[in-house]
Amino acid sequence: MDSTAQTTLNALNAPTQAPSFRPLYDQIKILLTQSLIAGEWKPGESIPSETDLAARFGVSQGTVRKAIDQLAAENILIRRQGKGTFVATHTAPQHQYRFLRIFANNGEKHHPTTRFIDLKKGKASAVAARLLDVKIGTPVITLRRVLVFAGRPLILDEVVVSAARFPSLTLELAEASRGSLYSFFETHYGVRMIRAEERLSAVSADVFAAEQLGVREGAPLLAIDRIAFTYGDKPVEWRRGLVHTDGYAYFNELA
């Protein structure tokens, strides 16, 4: 393709002229993301080879490569040399607890088991509505559970999602699924979590949390507020976790 193509494609896709210049690989990235949303390639499957995609989009292999590089950096695609490029999935054992940052103090990552407490249907509060980007009063589902690490109940979770996105979600369904909640959301509802934001603070255990986590009332707990997003930065889940950080800690790397 000649060098005018980038300008041409740009003109076609430009949204009201905004940034005045959008690289080709950025547009390829958008096209790939659209195919992912449309379900052209399902989680765990491989996408076409770089050469094929280059032909399909009418650009060079290097340009496709750069687009895929970025999606791989965002953990949306996974490259495997000699095999192909695959759609990331929360189902894979290594990615089951991709967003879990709680590690034992010796550095080990324990995969927790889940004990569900209850599931309630209700309407979105002002806070929930804002965080989930829905209207106040929209039907939501609130699910509570305890995550057990090495036999010890360490996290009390309260998970809020829009009922529309997860129709006929019941405690029984969730209980029947093994593994992480996101793995369950993905296989049963086709909802893939791409990224998440967390806000951490320290709080005192209330009666309920103390009972569930086996600590005294007023004991310090690590509160983790999480908003999880799917494609297109749509917030899908709001979660508040209370963590009994005894022998465990939230690990984070800064660069």
Partner DNA sequence: GAGTGGTCTAGACCACCCC
Partner DNA sequence: GGGTGGTCTAGACCACTCT
Q: How far is CA 141 from CA 17, 65, 171, 225, 254, in A?
A: 41, 41, 11, 17, 34
User: Which residue's CB is nearer to a second copy, number 41 or number 229?
Assistant: 229
- The entry of DNA, a second copy, none near residue 24 (CB within 5 to 8 angstroms by kind) is DNA
> Residue 5 or 203: which CB sits closer to DNA?
5
Q: Are 27 and 12 a contacting pair, CB within 8 Å?
A: no
Residue 157 near residue 144, CB atoms below 8 Å: yes
Name which of residues 106 to 165 contact a second copy (CB under 8 A): none
225 part of the interface to a second copy, by CB under 8 A: yes
Pairing mode, if any, of strands 113-123 and 102-104? unpaired
Distance CA 225, CA 67 (A): 32
Give the x-and-dash track for 87-116 against a second copy (CB under 8 A).
-----------xx-x-x-x-----------
Q: Which is nearer to a second copy, 110 or 116 (CB)?
A: 110
Which listed option, a second copy, DNA, none, makes contact with residue 225 (CB within 5 to 8 Å by class)?
Answer: a second copy
Q: Report the candidate in 153, 146, 163, 152 with the shortest Cα–Cα distance to residue 236.
A: 163
Q: Which residues make up the interface to a second copy (CB under 8 A)?
A: 74-75, 98-99, 101, 103, 105, 194-204, 218-223, 225, 243, 245, 248-255
